């Protein structure tokens, strides 16, 4: 078994596996604040078409080099909400 790694090392394209061990997608985007070491979750692609799905950090059970495992069944992964990225914040000048 591979050694666990920090969420900070997760990269786009890493495999995402369901609770039964089956591959259900790939990491599309890491969501969090690296400066404050806050991991919010992942946007994952589960197919060629469609928007990425959002997986909350609480659902991640294991992170090893190239692989992220979640506590969801393959069916539950397919039913996740689409990831809706937040627009960049605007700066207001006084």
Q: Is the pLDDT confidence value at 27 over 90?
A: yes
pTM to 2 decimal places? 0.85
Q: Is the pLDDT confidence value at 87 over 90?
A: no
> In the predicted model, what is the mean pLDDT of the chain?
89
> pLDDT at position 92, please?
43
Domain range summary for the chain, segments of one domain joined by +: 7-78
Residue 2: count of CB within 10 angstroms of its CB = 10
Which class would CATH give 7-78? Answer: alpha beta
What distance separates the 2 farthest-apart alpha carbons in the chain?
Answer: 55
């Amino acid at each position: 078994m591979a050694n666990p790694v920090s969420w900070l090392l997760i990269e786009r394209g890493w495999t995402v596996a369901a609770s039964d061990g089956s591959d259900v997608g790939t990491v599309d985007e890491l969501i969090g604040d690296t400066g404050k070491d806050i991991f919010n979750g992942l946007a994952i692609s589960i197919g060629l078409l469609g928007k990425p799905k959002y997986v909350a950090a609480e659902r991640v059970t294991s992170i090893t080099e190239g692989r992220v495992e979640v506590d969801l069944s393959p069916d539950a992964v397919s039913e996740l909400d689409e990831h809706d990225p937040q627009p960049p914040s605007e700066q207001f000048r006084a």
